[in-house]
Chains A and B, each alone.
Chain A
Amino acid sequence: SQQGEEDPQALSIQEGENATMNCSYKTSINNLQWYRQNSGRGLVHLILIRSNEREKHSGRLRVTLDTSKKSSSLLITASRAADTASYFCAPSSGGSYIPTFGRGTSLIVHP
């Protein structure tokens, strides 16, 4: 199994600004997923991007994937205070993979 490494570890922005966080991984993947964790809660699945996709959108979320650089980015546009949470990436090598997580990016959006 492999885990992604998120960067930066912490991000503090004002409401309305965009937030970008990055994920790097080591070996080839089938897909990469992003999850969000509100303080004291479990993780919630945000978006999945497959290895043959370069970009994917879901509402205010935009995810890119560069398999040549083994990296992904998550962009949250027009951030809101409610977006305050930790964000984790999970690179996957197939259905039998064992999901592990890095430290995540802690995002704080100030109202």
Chain B
Amino acid sequence: DQQVKQNSPSLSVQEGRISILNCDYTNSMFDYFLWYKKYPAEGPTFLISISSIKDKNEDGRFTVFLNKSAKHLSLHIVPSQPGDSAVYFCAALNSNYQLIWGAGTKLIIKP
């Protein structure tokens, strides 16, 4: 039973355009969400987070949007750069302060 779903295993975007990565969750009790970025053979690194009391959080080129009624969040990267090519994981914090992870989306930025 996957509580956090990233339905797109991969996404290809032209350099300079917007990348939109999507994440859906099933547990309405989740109230904090995080995005991590992972390069091959490395550990994930924290990118951006959002609390359920907000619907948007922005940090430079990265913006996370949260739609609580739809149980959906998305990460927007604009403009996309070659260094953004990585696997992006969505994660939700449960009531035990444990992270519940999505399967990841591989983002490929084409020159």
Q: Do A and B bind each other?
A: no
